Structures are given as C-alpha cells and as structure tokens.
C-alpha cells in the first residue's frame, strides 16, 4: 500500500493538473 504522504501527493498533483486545464479552458 502507498504511504499517506504519497496518496496526498497524488491527490494534490491531480488537482493541480485539473486547475491548469481549467485555466486553459477559461482562455
């Protein structure tokens, strides 16, 4: 199983990518 820190990194990484995509869609 992954460590809690690894899971948090994966989750934050996904949210960051989604934010970038949303920013591109706005412009």
- pTM for this one? 0.42
1-27 per-position pLDDT tens digit? 779 888 888 888 888 888 899 899 987
Q: How far apart are CA 13 and CA 26, in angstroms?
A: 20
What pLDDT score does 4 carry? Answer: 86
Alpha-carbon distances of 14 from 10, 21, rounded to whole Å: 6, 11
Hey, what are 14's tokens? Answer: 């996904």
């Amino acid at each position: 199983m992954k460590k809690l820190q690894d899971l948090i990194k994966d989750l934050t990484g996904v949210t960051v990518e989604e934010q970038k995509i949303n920013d591109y869609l706005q412009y």
